[in-house]
């Protein structure tokens, strides 16, 4: 099969033709996965329930990732890509059913132990950036003198 266009069109057939994986695993993965295009649409629909800032960030990131992975030829990479995004979609849908309004989940300590030093540093930087973004007093203190907040 030649890749004559976007993998979004022929990815569902690749799942069934992957020679490198046992057929039972492929069928199990195919049963729970959505094809890429419907998956992208479902993700964007799920983001509609987010606050505007989070929705904009999420939509931009999802679109960029799907664009970046548009020309993947390896069926197992396609299945891995779609399965990870499907897990994210399932988590998003579960969060919207949470009556407390809390979003996300705690990071598993076993996963955290596997992070490299660079990943830990990036996680710490992300923590600081989010604390600053959601703490108006701290953001005001870091603004250059002479600027006023809106």
Answer whether residue 1 is part of any domain. Answer: no
pTM of this prediction?
0.57
Residue range 71-82: average pLDDT? 92
**What's residue 136's pLDDT?**
64
C-beta neighbour count of 29 within 10 angstroms: 18
Confidence of residue 144 (pLDDT cuts 50, 70, 90): low
- Tell me: pLDDT of 42 over 50: yes
Q: How many CB atoms lie within 10 A of CB 72?
A: 18
Cα separation, 63 vs 65, in Å, equals 6
Residues 56 and 130 in one domain: no
> Are 34 and 69 in the same domain?
yes
CA distance 115 to 135: 27
Percent of residues, the chain, with pLDDT higher than 90 = 40
DSSP letter for 107, please.
P
Q: Does 11 share its domain with 75?
A: yes
Same domain? For 64 and 95 the reply is: yes
């Amino acid at each position: 099969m030649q890749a004559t266009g976007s993998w979004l069109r022929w990815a569902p057939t690749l799942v069934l033709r992957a020679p490198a994986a046992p057929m039972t695993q492929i069928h199990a993965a195919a049963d729970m996965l959505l094809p890429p295009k419907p998956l992208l649409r479902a993700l964007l629909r799920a983001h509609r329930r987010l606050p505007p800032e989070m929705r904009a960030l999420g939509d931009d990131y999802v679109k960029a990732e799907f664009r970046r992975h548009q020309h993947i030829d390896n069926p197992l990479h396609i299945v891995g890509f779609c399965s990870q995004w499907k897990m994210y979609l399932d988590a998003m849908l579960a969060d919207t059913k949470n009556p407390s309004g809390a979003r996300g989940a705690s990071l598993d300590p076993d996963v955290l132990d596997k992070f490299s030093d660079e990943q830990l540093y990036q996680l710490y930087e992300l923590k600081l950036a989010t604390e600053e973004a959601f703490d108006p007093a701290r953001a005001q203190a870091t603004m250059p003198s002479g600027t006023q907040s809106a």
